[in-house]
Structures are given as structure tokens and as C-alpha cells.
Structure 1
């Protein structure tokens, strides 16, 4: 071969090698890869809906309890009917006995920092279980094992799969904590104590197709994961107490005077708050109660719910108004609060807030399923239970709206959509904080404001070296991080998804489909991801991976703008760990403007991208994310302004 020919071959080979080397350079594909194992099976479809053989177990409860307000003790008898719909026989079940959190040697107490936190609580409590009986088809068993806040109940004969039924009964008793970890307790007022009672009876844990028995101990930050069922509960209290509770009061004539029954009927037809017990009627039992001595039993029922809670006091002002639901049905908004908390800027507006919150979410996302929504002024700063919330008695104005709206928003997440709060706080707190934003914007023509969408306000935390990811379990997250990992960061992500990435129509279709598919069921994070992607028609692996499972940040910018004869080249850069579509507004020197979007796929190969504006007009400014939905950690290069 001649030398000249060898030179040509070498040159061609070299160019090929250079091209190959460039092609083999690392890309950003790993940021777009699948997140976790999201393949479907017979129980959970790859499209994000329950599969053809999806199952979950159920539990119905019949409870009779009595409040001893002299000794602050609640005693009760419980009968639970448990239905095993799973494909396997069960030799035992696990139940939660969460009043055992209030002991000095509970896991929750021992894992509370010495400086304390929100979940401080009494340590002289605990639950006593007696006369336990567990029966399937054979002889009853009394064998049980209590471990901290969990109780294992054994059967003498296995509970059969696919429809087997067991009956578990027991007596229980506990001292009502004065300080109940900001979840329950006692509020002393001049007219009597307000008892906020929650997590008050043994409840069965969830047995599912993902991990089997979910037995995480009750420590504090991690909330609940419970099966659905029907509740029939009776609460016996001193005759001068009012009991408000989850569900429907079914013995109205026995506990309310004829005058109160008339007022109740009036409230069911009123869009304005109506007093059942006015401030000047506190203690006037002749007006409000049929009985004038002894004890009275209040009987409530609630269907297809995870839990129930109640409050009892002789100090209540009590008011109500109807809730108008999209299908034409009605429900009742109620508030119960002591006279110290009343006033036009305080709890006198509670029912108005409750009504507005429930009506908004029912129209926007999924219709409210319960007959009542009750707000109780409590020693608890803010805690939700199905159909009933405890909110801080000292809350006023915007703070009272915020806590009321937030706690009732929880009826959608996790009361209707029954996610595992003890593992995935973001699936209830984050989603709820997200829907709270839109409810606040809508309330009373914008009377109150929300900064949830102002993502730039949280950039300092996003850059903090001790930050943690959204998927950090709530009981593991550092105290200073929990508000961000469970509430603000997931809510910010959901707002970005709706306002910046998918748009309203695609997002709303997908999120409503998720709620409808998993109403009264138990979704996992992968079910949420799959449902959103399938309905929206968008592969969002890059978003779930970057925003929900890591601690990376968004950092996009403009490096240069170059004028050419009949066009302009804008050079963009992605300096962050999370790729993001680029929505940008171009303003020309004639003050006309247009908004354009580059898809997220421009970052799959590399971290820089040139875009050509095919126009002879000179550009005056370029601005990324003009609505400021992105929490970009470096805004110094997000805008370009032509030098004068």
C-alpha cells in the first residue's frame, strides 16, 4: 500500500475514532431511567389501578365506651368482625394499641430527643386489655401478645383465606392523657374540660400484598395505616356533656331536646352558620338536653371508614351549616368550641371555613362521602380523623383557616385514599398541602393567601447540606426537615407538575383518576407514579427520581444570546441534578413577546442546548420560568437582558 493511501486510511480511522469517542461520552440517561420496580401484577396494574385480583381485608367495629370525667378515664368494650379477603390463611392478626405510646418505656418515649419535640406526651398512661376472645370457626382463643403499641392476637384455628371471618372482642381501659402528643388530650376551660379522644380503642393493622402485616410501631411523627370498615359506637358521658363524633348521630331524639332538634333541622337547610348551642346557653341543660341527671349515651355510626374519633365537653358552643355537594346531596359542617375561643375573627367562623373547604375539594377532586364534618377547638394544634378534626383553640384569622382547611383536606388524603402514613408521609401530607393551596386561592375571593406555590422561598432549604429526601420515613427524618420532606417539597413538586410540566387538564385528569382508582384502597408510591403517567401520557421517571427520591436540585440558566442576520441563537444550560423542561419568555425590542417551551428530552444527551429564534427582530430580554414555579437554586442566570 502506498504511503499516500496509508495516510488517507489513517485519517479516516482517526475521524471515526473521534466520532466514536464523542458518541461514547457519558449521557444523562441515568436521570431518565425507571425508578424502582413498577411492573404490574394481578394485584396492582402497571397502569396504576388495582389489578384484577386486588384484595384488601376489612374490619367492622361495635364499641361501647364510658367517659369518667372525675378520674379522666375511658373504659370500653369492643367487638371487631374481621374479614380475611387475602389468598392465604391467617393464624393470627396484629392490632394497634396506641395508648401504650403514653408510657415512660414506650419506643416512642425512648426515641424522643431529650429536648423534646411536637410529639411529647404524658408518660403515665397505657392501655389495659382484659377478657380478650378471638374466634374463627372453632373454639375461642384468649392468647395474645402485647409488644409496645402492637398486639398479636392468635386463633385456635386458622382464619380461612378468601372470605374467612373472625370475631375478636375485649375490654379496654386507659387514662386519658392531658398532653396527647398533639393528637388528643384535654383542654381546660372555665366551663369545663374539652376531651379530644382519638386512637382510643384497639384497631387492626393492615395486612396487604406488599409486605404482609404492617406493624411499624407508633413513635410519633409517623401517623396511621388502617383497614376500612363500618363503625357502630356508643359513648356514655355525664348528662350535661355534648359529644361530637365521626359519622352520623343516630339517636338524636334521645340526646337532644326538641328545641335543639328544631335548630338541627334549620341548620340542615342553611348556608349560613346557625347556633345549636349559643354562647349564652352554655350550661343551660333544660334548653338543650332531655335528661337532667345521671349519664347519657350518644350513638354514632360511620360506614366505610378507617377510623373514628370524638370530643366531649359541657363547655361547648355548638353551631352548624349545610354542605352542598356536587351530586345534590347535603352534609353538615359543625363546630364545637368553648366560649373563650369565639369571636368573628376566631372560632365563630370555623363552620364557614369547614363548609368552604369540603365544598371546594368535593368539586375539584372527589365528592365528600361522609354525613358530617366536625371541627373541634382543642388542645391539639391540628390533627385529622375521618369526618372530624381537632384544631388549636387559640387559632384565629388566617391561621384558623389554614389549620381547618388542612385538617379537612386530609379527608381526601389519607382518609379516602388510604395510603400508608407511617412510611410515606408525603402521600398524605404533601398531597394535602398541594390541594390546600388551591382551596386557599379560591376561598372568599382570595381573603387569605398561601405561599406554597412560591417555591423560591424554600431555596435556602433546598441548598442546605443537611436536607433529606421526600421518601425519608417520617419517624426517621430530622425534626427540622420533616416540614419540608413531608409537606412543602412534595407540594411544591405537585404544583410544578400541574402548572409547569403537564398543565391543568392533563394533570387534573390524572390526579382525579388516581383518587377514583384508589378511593378506600391502599396505594403504594409506584401506583401513584404509574397512574399519573398512564393517564397524562408522559414518562415522568426523571421527575419522580429527581424530586421525590433524591436531594438534587434544579439549576437551569442562559449562557449566551448571539445575534445573527435573520435569527438569534439562545444557549441554555442545565447545571442541576434534576432535568426540567425550559419554558421561557422572549421579549423583542418592539416590546412584543412570546413564550416557548423546550421539552425535558433536550437534556437526555448533554447539559447544554442551543435554540434558534427564527426572526430578524432583535431580542431585548429572555426569561426562564416567567411565572416562577421552579425553585431554581441559582436565579442569577435565569434571565438575559440586552446591554443598552
Structure 2
């Protein structure tokens, strides 16, 4: 018996046995085998609806969200108001603070715990982090010395650093202590050494009620050669750039309750909106910048600096507030009998607070003129030796603020500050840690997530991706040319099919290091390029603008975006959103054949991928010949060129190839190009032309 005949005999015996028990199964297998042998492929399955998860289904049932994509009639969100006093000791690089946080429970639920975001715990060495994000320094993390809820103490045993029993043993002890305390009706801090902690409450916070949290805390700001944004927060002991530096209350929303995601490094944030009153105590002579408006310039600034600040909004000129030679108390700042000054900042309706301070900052300022609002100051604080990387920052930032204000909605805040430091590409409300290199991009984040509060941790594409798309538009406008999105959508064909790529709707925290940047940043412009190829770029931007205005200072989900865009564009785009957001498929279109008979040309187009797309054909005619007859679904681009469009619906029946009949008459057709604007993902664009380009 040969080596090949034994398996064949085994299959025959299996079929015979199966035929006795399941005769229908054998017929199906024979039919499938025959079809495969004939080289036929099964029909293409096109999903046309938007998948609805349990979370969004519950929210829609509760009336918080609905199919219009606008906030539902019962939409709600928590509000958190912060009062913080913080002091910096440059010699130890340590922040010591007191926070009073008021949590307003606008939800219909009784809150039996309060989630906390303790991002400084990312640096304790035992916290999980994503590669290649490497903390610059191992620290002791967030240390609490006191915590209360509505005046009642919180058991903070779980905040103690692991002792000789080891990390696992310490965690077991902390868990047992927390369970015991909670059973006794006490407030208890749980997972206090994690970036995702919570306070178990002895008494719940009822709907419509509020809870006041008070905390005394401290932590060290890490310095050294970290890898990744936010992993280094100081340069030696003369410049500090605190970010995620205070205990934050996590978001509690209608989709998942408390946000329980860890801070792993790359993925960013999801925060509540509220008011911040922050008092920052630093050595006299050190300049401080941050979120919000400075409330006590008379106490911390020199008379000359205050005089210069008064000029900033009067022209586009760049005004020097504190020069490179003005250093120390009495020159850079006001003097102080104690050797220290307290800078007081206030910010309304923001979702975070960041600041920076340095011993020798240069401070310059200019303005942007916001349509419908007027001038707002742009502040730049940088080290004297880094003036070259801030030279173009005023013009870039001004253009970004003014352009995005026209594109989406007016800039919502009273000022914007660029802060120099180890993080050169990060954004917070009214603050960007950036020089001119990322000024446009980071300014764009003032729209999302700083006003339209997308969940960056889960759906980074709604934050970074939208920003990357509008950066293309801004760059073109700054150069005085039309924005070109042709070719962007087609690019995705070169990536589609890579097994390492996660779908865009996958939690960005776990998208993997190889594709986090692509899925979070780069894929959205490709998706919106294709959408623009279907409905027009201006229509996409108009619908996006309307969506953004509907969700000012709220928390939209991806479903809200998809539903809103469908309604605004007047299209059922479920097939589009499903293919782009929930899969990693592509179109992979090609011209299969072109045949002309008696003035009728049959163009057969195949789509080999799982993503459907309309058929768009650019038809070029001979310069001379019979008149070109009008044809349905066709427009003339010029005297000898037509654009033919066949709706995507032709694929919904499962076909893998579709023949379009061109009935322009007997004028010879010299060339046909599929997807001439290169908007649809295609692995091999070389087969999109007839005659085929060799």
C-alpha cells in the first residue's frame, strides 16, 4: 500500500460510516468538495449592522444613549471638583499635597465604592506596564498619610509598601485587612499600591448626593532616562513637569460603572469634568505654568512681568514676559521673605490638571484670535538653551487654535500654554508639553479628549486617530493648499491581514506594542479617507463637526459616533463601521475583465477581501469619435473622461465579482481605472487598471 493510498482509504471508510448515520452531511461534503474542485468560492458574507455589546444595549435601554447618536434624554455623568495644595521640594524631587475632592453622584446608582486613579504607582516597580514604556526611576509611589470620606476616616492599610513577607504576602494581608474593615462598616482603601485603587464605603453615596474625599499624600517625581511619554517628569533638580500627579477619582459611567483599567503607559486617560483650584508652592524665583488662570499675579510676578502680560492680547507680536537673563527672586518672580511662593490657579470644567516649574524658564507670550470669541493668550515657557525648538511654536500654535476653531468649534478655554521638559509630546487641558515639533498635534487634543471626553484608554482611535486626521487638514491649510486625502484609504491594504493587528474596537490598553501606534493613531485617517471617497470629505467633516458639538464636555462612545454619523450623512453605514472598526479586513478590488461588444462595454470587478466598497470607475475615451452618451450613475469629469459609481449594495447578496455595463455609445474606451482616487484598502493596486499597466 502506497503512502498516499492509506489516507485516501481512510477518508473513504469515514465517508461510508458517516453516510450510514448522517447521509445529509455526506452530500454537503461532496457538494463542497465539488465546488472547491471547480475553483469556486463560497458567497462573501457581508455584515451590514453595527454590533451592539451588552454595555451599550443597557445604556440604550436606560435612555442614556440612543440610535440618534446624541446624548439620551436620561444622559448623566459624574462631576468631580478638586481643591489641591501641593508643595515641591526640589532637593528630594518630592511632591507633598492635600486634596479635597467633591464627587457629585449624578448617576441613578448608589455608589458603594469610589474608584481612584493613582498613576504615580506606575513607578513603584511592581506595577504592570506595557513595553517599551520603561519608568525613568523606581519610586515609592503614592503615599497616603490621611484619608477621609465625608469626615469619616478611611483605613489606608493597603497603601503600605510591601514588607519582608514579600509582595504577594503583603497583598494577602492588605486584602484580609480591607475585607475585615469593610465588614465592620468602615471606609477602606483597596489596592492602594496599584494605579487602579478604590475606596470601599461603609455607607453608599446615594443618587443625587455627594461625597467629600480628603487626602494627605506625597510621592517622588521620577527622573532619569525613561522610555515613553510621561515616564520622566524632571530634569535633575531644576525643572519639573508633573503629570498624573494627584489622586484622581475614576470615571463612573453608564457603560461599565467604575473605570477599572490600569495605567500601563501608552494608553492615555478617561477623566471626569469638574473645577480645579490648585495652589502650588515652589521656591521663589521659579516660574510656574499650568492648567487654568493664575489668580494671584500680584503676589508671584514682578511688576514688569505683569505689565508685559497686559500687552499679549493686543497684537500677534511675541512678547517677552521673563527673559533669559532674568533669574531668581526679584527678577523672574516676586521676592519672598520665606524663600518660597505659592501660585494659585483656577480652571472651570476641565478633566485634568498639569503644571511645570523651572529655576530658569524663559517666558514668552503671543495670542490667537478665536472666531466668535476673540483673542486668547498663548504662553511659551522653555529653557534658555532650547530657544531654537520653540522658534516656530507661536505661529504653529496660533494657526492650530484658529484653524481647528473654524473646523470644529471655537476653542473653549481662556489660554493655552506650551511647557518645556522631558515630555515633548503630551496634552492636558490648556497645557501642552510640547515644542514646535508636536505643537499642531498636541493643540488638536484640546478638542478631544479635553472637551469631547472620549475614553482614550479603550478607544484611542477616537482621540489620537481623529487628531491625526485633522492634522492632515491643518498642515495643508498652513501650507496654503487644499488637503489631499487621496491614497490614504488605499494604504490600509498593505497592513490588513497582519495577525498582530487588533481591531480598532479592541481595548487599546491591550492592542500590543507592534500595532498600538497604528491602530490608535494611523488607521483612523485611512478610514475617514475611504468614508470621504463615498460621501465626500466636506460631508464627513460637517457631520463630524455636528457630532462634536453635540458632545461638548460629555463622554461619547464609539456607538454614539457611528449612529450620529449615519444619521448626519443620511446613509446606513453599518457595513462600513463593522468592516473598519470590528475587523481587520480590506477591499482588495481588481478589474477582472473588460469586454466591448456593439458599443456596450462590460467591466467585471472583483473584490477579494472581506470589506465591501462601492465600485468607482474612471473611464477615459478616445479624443475623437462618436458622441459620448449620458449614462446613469456617471458624471463627466471633462470632455473625454467619465466617473462611474456603482453603490456598495451590489455586494450585499454575497457576490465576489460584479459586471457593470458601460453604455456610453461607440466612442472607443482607451482606459478604465478602478478606485481612481485610491480611497479603498487594496493589497495590490497594480490590477486596478485596464489595459493592465506592465
Normalising by structure 1, we get a TM-score of 0.88
2:414 to 360, 363, 371: 371
Query: How do 1:88-237 and structure 2 match up within 5 A?
Result: 88-108=109-129, 112-113=130-131, 117-135=132-150, 141=154, 143-147=187-191, 148-161=194-207, 163-179=208-224, 181-183=228-230, 185-188=232-235, 193-237=238-282
Which residue number in structure 2 is paired with residue 17 of structure 1? Answer: none
The answer to whether the aligner puts 1:31 opposite 2:47 as a matched pair is yes
d(CA) in 1 for partners of 2:486, 2:540: 18
d(CA) in 1 for partners of 2:255, 2:612: 31
Which residue number in structure 2 is paired with residue 7 of structure 1? Answer: none
Query: How do 1:428-507 and structure 2 match up within 5 A?
Result: 428-445=463-480, 454-456=488-490, 459-497=493-531, 499-507=532-540
Query: How do 1:541-552 and structure 2 match up within 5 A?
Result: 541-552=574-585
Which residue number in structure 1 is paired with residue 28 of structure 2? Answer: none
Bigger CA drift: 561-570 or 78-87?
A: 561-570
The structural deviation recorded for 1:627 is 2.4
d(CA) in 1 for partners of 2:380, 2:136: 26
Question: Is the 1:125–1:177 Cα contact (8 Å) retained in structure 2?
Answer: no
Query: How do 1:380-391 and structure 2 match up within 5 A?
Result: 380-391=423-434
The answer to whether the aligner puts 1:85 opposite 2:106 as a matched pair is yes
Which residue number in structure 1 is paired with residue 691 of structure 2? Answer: 641
Which residue number in structure 2 is paired with residue 283 of structure 1? Answer: 327
1:575 to 608, 618, 630: 608
Deviations 1:243-302 (A, max 9, x none): 1101111212221112111211111112232221233x3416434422156111111111
Which residue number in structure 2 is paired with residue 512 of structure 1? Answer: 545
Over 3 Å counting, the alpha-carbon distance change for 1:453 and 1:407 in structure 2 is farther
The structural deviation recorded for 1:488 is 0.7
Which residue number in structure 2 is paired with residue 14 of structure 1? Answer: none
d(CA) in 1 for partners of 2:693, 2:492: 31
The structural deviation recorded for 1:517 is 1.6
d(CA) in 2 for partners of 1:511, 1:336: 34
Deviations 1:334-375 (A, max 9, x none): 1111122112xx212212221211111111012111111111
d(CA) in 2 for partners of 1:292, 1:83: 38
Question: Is the 1:469–1:549 Cα contact (8 Å) retained in structure 2?
Answer: yes
The structural deviation recorded for 1:450 is 9.4
Deviations 1:608-644 (A, max 9, x none): 1122222221111111222223331111211113899
d(CA) in 1 for partners of 2:554, 2:521: 22
2:640 to 592, 599, 618: 592
Question: Is the 1:588–1:620 Cα contact (8 Å) retained in structure 2?
Answer: yes
Secondary structure of 1:414's match?
coil
d(CA) in 1 for partners of 2:536, 2:484: 20
Over 3 Å counting, the alpha-carbon distance change for 1:503 and 1:557 in structure 2 is same
Unaligned runs of 5+ in 1: 1-21, 394-399
2:589 to 556, 560, 570: 556
The structural deviation recorded for 1:321 is 1.2
Deviations 1:78-119 (A, max 9, x none): 0011100111222221111111110111123xxx45xxx134
Secondary structure of 1:182's match?
coil
Over 3 Å counting, the alpha-carbon distance change for 1:455 and 1:538 in structure 2 is closer
The structural deviation recorded for 1:59 is 0.5
The structural deviation recorded for 1:187 is 4.7
The answer to whether the aligner puts 1:246 opposite 2:295 as a matched pair is no
Over 3 Å counting, the alpha-carbon distance change for 1:31 and 1:79 in structure 2 is same
The structural deviation recorded for 1:583 is 2.2
Secondary structure of 2:144's match?
strand
Normalising by structure 2, we get a TM-score of 0.82
Query: How do 1:605-620 and structure 2 match up within 5 A?
Result: 605=653, 606-615=655-664, 616-620=666-670
d(CA) in 2 for partners of 1:188, 1:453: 42
Deviations 1:415-448 (A, max 9, x none): 111121111111111111111111111114369x
Give the number of the structure whose alpha-carbon radius of gyration is greater. Answer: 2
Secondary structure of 2:449's match?
helix
Question: Is the 2:250–2:258 Cα contact (8 Å) retained in structure 1?
Answer: yes
Question: Is the 2:605–2:657 Cα contact (8 Å) retained in structure 1?
Answer: yes
Question: Is the 1:621–1:642 Cα contact (8 Å) retained in structure 2?
Answer: no
The structural deviation recorded for 1:154 is 3.7
Which residue number in structure 2 is paired with residue 8 of structure 1? Answer: none
Over 3 Å counting, the alpha-carbon distance change for 1:381 and 1:457 in structure 2 is farther
Secondary structure of 1:585's match?
strand
Which residue number in structure 2 is paired with residue 296 of structure 1? Answer: 341
Which residue number in structure 2 is paired with residue 74 of structure 1? Answer: 95
d(CA) in 2 for partners of 1:264, 1:629: 48
Unaligned runs of 5+ in 2: 1-34, 36-40, 156-186, 624-638
The structural deviation recorded for 1:568 is 1.8
Over 3 Å counting, the alpha-carbon distance change for 1:453 and 1:175 in structure 2 is farther
Query: How do 1:329-344 and structure 2 match up within 5 A?
Result: 329-343=374-388
Query: How do 1:300-449 and structure 2 match up within 5 A?
Result: 300-343=345-388, 346-391=389-434, 400-401=436-437, 403-445=438-480
Secondary structure of 2:380's match?
strand
The structural deviation recorded for 1:379 is 0.9
d(CA) in 2 for partners of 1:433, 1:610: 37
Secondary structure of 1:576's match?
coil
1:50 to 42, 59, 71: 71
Bigger CA drift: 165-174 or 40-49?
A: 40-49
Bigger CA drift: 227-236 or 420-429?
A: 420-429
Bigger CA drift: 450-459 or 287-296?
A: 450-459
Secondary structure of 1:506's match?
helix
Question: Is the 1:469–1:551 Cα contact (8 Å) retained in structure 2?
Answer: yes
Question: Is the 2:46–2:610 Cα contact (8 Å) retained in structure 1?
Answer: no
